[in-house]
Amino acid sequence: MNDKPGAKSEVITAAILVIGDEILSGRTKDKNIGHIAEYLTNIGIDMREVRVVPDIEAEIIAALDALRHRYTYVFTTGGIGPTHDDITADCVAKAFGVTIDVDPRARVLLLTRIAEKDMNEARLRMARIPAGADLILNKVSAAPGFRIGNVHVMAGVPSIMQAMLDEVAPTLRTGVKMLSETVRANCREGDIGTPLGEIAKAHPDAMIGSYPFQDEGRPNTNIVIRSRDAGKLAAAKSAVEDMLARVHGSLRQTA
Amino acid sequence: MNDKPGAKSEVITAAILVIGDEILSGRTKDKNIGHIAEYLTNIGIDMREVRVVPDIEAEIIAALDALRHRYTYVFTTGGIGPTHDDITADCVAKAFGVTIDVDPRARVLLLTRIAEKDMNEARLRMARIPAGADLILNKVSAAPGFRIGNVHVMAGVPSIMQAMLDEVAPTLRTGVKMLSETVRANCREGDIGTPLGEIAKAHPDAMIGSYPFQDEGRPNTNIVIRSRDAGKLAAAKSAVEDMLARVHGSLRQTA
Q: Considering Cα of B111, then B112, then B116, then B118, what sign does the dihedral take?
A: negative
B-chain CB neighbours of A48 within 8 Å are 24, 54
Contact B33 A36 (CB under 8 A): no
Of B25, B39, B85, the CB nearest to A41: B25
The single-letter code of the amino acid at A111 is L
Of B30, B48, B123, the CB nearest to A33: B30
Q: For residue A241, what pLDDT is reported?
A: 97
Residue A4 lies in a domain: no
Question: What is the Rg, in whole angstroms, of the alpha carbon atoms belonging to chain A?
Answer: 23
Based on the domain organization, do B100 and B166 belong to the same domain?
Answer: yes
User: What would the pLDDT profile of B179-234 be if each residue is shown by its tens digit?
Assistant: 999 999 999 999 999 999 999 999 999 999 999 988 998 989 999 999 999 999 99
Nearest to B147 by CA among B103, B114, B82, B86: B103
Of B33, B121, B193, the CB nearest to A194: B121
Based on the domain organization, do A78 and A35 belong to the same domain?
Answer: yes
If you average pLDDT over residues B133-143, what whole number do you get?
Answer: 93
Based on the domain organization, do B81 and B151 belong to the same domain?
Answer: yes
Count the neighbouring beta carbons within 10 Å of the beta carbon of residue B174.
Answer: 16
Whether the per-residue pLDDT at A90 is higher than 70: the answer is: yes
Whether the per-residue pLDDT at A253 is higher than 80: the answer is: no
pTM for the model: 0.93
Q: For residue A1, what pLDDT is reported?
A: 37
Of A21, A59, A207, the CB nearest to B209: A21
Contact B122 A194 (CB under 8 A): yes
pLDDT bin (cut points 50, 70, 90) of residue B252 is confident
Residue A8 lies in a domain: no
Q: Give the 3-state secondary structure of residue A84.
A: coil
Task: List the single residue in B with minimal CA-CA distance to A55.
Answer: B209
If you average pLDDT over residues B130-138, what whole number do you get?
Answer: 97
User: What would the pLDDT profile of B5-54 be if each residue is shown by its tens digit?
Assistant: 444 568 999 999 999 999 999 999 999 999 999 999 999 999 999 999 99
Q: How far does A210 lie from chain B, in Å, by closest CA?
A: 7
Whether the per-residue pLDDT at B175 is higher than 60: the answer is: yes
Q: For residue A4, what pLDDT is reported?
A: 43
Residue A231 lies in a domain: yes
If you average pLDDT over residues B132-160, what whole number do you get?
Answer: 96
Chain A interface, best mutation among B11, B13, B16, B25, by max A CB count within 10 A: B25
What DSSP string runs through chain B? ---STT---PPPEEEEEEE-HHHHTTSS---HHHHHHHHHHHTT-EEEEEEEE-S-HHHHHHHHHHHHTTSSEEEEES--SSSTT--HHHHHHHHHT--EEE-HHHHHHHHTTS-GGG--HHHHHTTEEETTPEEE--SS-SS-EEEETTEEEE-SSHHHHHHHHHHHGGGS---SPPEEEEEE-SS-HHHHHHHHHHHHHH-TTSEEEEEEEEETTEEEEEEEEEES-HHHHHHHHHHHHHHHHHHHHHHHHH-
| Mean predicted lDDT score pLDDT of chain A | 93
Residue A1 lies in a domain: no
Task: List the single residue in B with minimal CA-CA distance to A124.
Answer: B190
ipTM of the complex: 0.92
User: What would the pLDDT profile of A39-59 be if each residue is shown by its tens digit?
Assistant: 999 999 999 999 999 999 999
Of A39, A52, A81, the CB nearest to B50: A52
User: What would the pLDDT profile of A91-112 be if each residue is shown by its tens digit?
Assistant: 999 999 999 999 999 999 999 9
Contact A26 B35 (CB under 8 A): yes
Based on the domain organization, do A246 and A123 belong to the same domain?
Answer: no
A-chain CB neighbours of B125 within 8 Å are 193
Q: How far does A16 lie from chain B, in Å, by closest CA?
A: 9
**Count of domains in chain A?**
2
Based on the domain organization, do A150 and A83 belong to the same domain?
Answer: yes
Q: How far does A133 lie from chain B, in Å, by closest CA?
A: 23
pLDDT bin (cut points 50, 70, 90) of residue A7 is very low
pLDDT bin (cut points 50, 70, 90) of residue A8 is low
Q: For residue B221, what pLDDT is reported?
A: 96
Residue B112 lies in a domain: yes
B-chain CB neighbours of A65 within 8 Å are none
Q: For residue A77, what pLDDT is reported?
A: 98
Chain B interface, best mutation among A16, A27, A88, A250, by max B CB count within 10 A: A27
Contact B122 A207 (CB under 8 A): no
Whether the per-residue pLDDT at A149 is higher than 90: the answer is: yes
Task: List the single residue in B with minimal CA-CA distance to A29.
Answer: B34
Among A146, A171, A196, the domain-final residue is A171
pLDDT > 70 in chain A, percent: 96
Whether the per-residue pLDDT at A214 is higher than 90: the answer is: no
Based on the domain organization, do B154 and B184 belong to the same domain?
Answer: no
Contact A120 B25 (CB under 8 A): no
Based on the domain organization, do B100 and B126 belong to the same domain?
Answer: yes
- CB contact at 8 A, A152 and A78: no
Q: For residue A6, what pLDDT is reported?
A: 40
Based on the domain organization, do B140 and B34 belong to the same domain?
Answer: yes
A-chain CB neighbours of B178 within 8 Å are 25
Based on the domain organization, do A159 and A223 belong to the same domain?
Answer: no
What's the full length of chain A, in residues? 255
Chain A interface, best mutation among B13, B18, B24, B49, by max A CB count within 10 A: B24
If you average pLDDT over residues A128-139, what whole number do you get?
Answer: 96
CATH of the domain at A54: 3.40.980.10
- CB contact at 8 A, A246 and A194: no
Among A171, A202, A228, the domain-final residue is A171
Whether the per-residue pLDDT at B177 is higher than 90: the answer is: no
Among A117, A151, A171, the domain-final residue is A171
Task: List the single residue in B with minimal CA-CA distance to A200.
Answer: B84
Residue A5 lies in a domain: no
Q: How far does B154 lie from chain A, in Å, by closest CA?
A: 15
The range of the structural domain enclosing residue A129 comes to 13-171
Residue B5 lies in a domain: no
pLDDT bin (cut points 50, 70, 90) of residue A177 is confident
B-chain CB neighbours of A54 within 8 Å are 48-49
Q: For residue B2, what pLDDT is reported?
A: 40
CATH of the domain at A241: 3.30.70.600
Based on the domain organization, do B38 and B130 belong to the same domain?
Answer: yes
Based on the domain organization, do A106 and A66 belong to the same domain?
Answer: yes
- CB contact at 8 A, A91 and A64: yes
Based on the domain organization, do B127 and B147 belong to the same domain?
Answer: yes
Residue B242 lies in a domain: yes
B47 vs A29: CA distance, rounded Å: 14
Q: For residue A217, what pLDDT is reported?
A: 86
If you average pLDDT over residues B141-145, what whole number do you get?
Answer: 93
Chain A interface, best mutation among B35, B36, B85, by max A CB count within 10 A: B85
Q: How far does A121 lie from chain B, in Å, by closest CA?
A: 7
A-chain CB neighbours of B37 within 8 Å are 23-26
Contact A85 B208 (CB under 8 A): yes
B-chain CB neighbours of A28 within 8 Å are 211
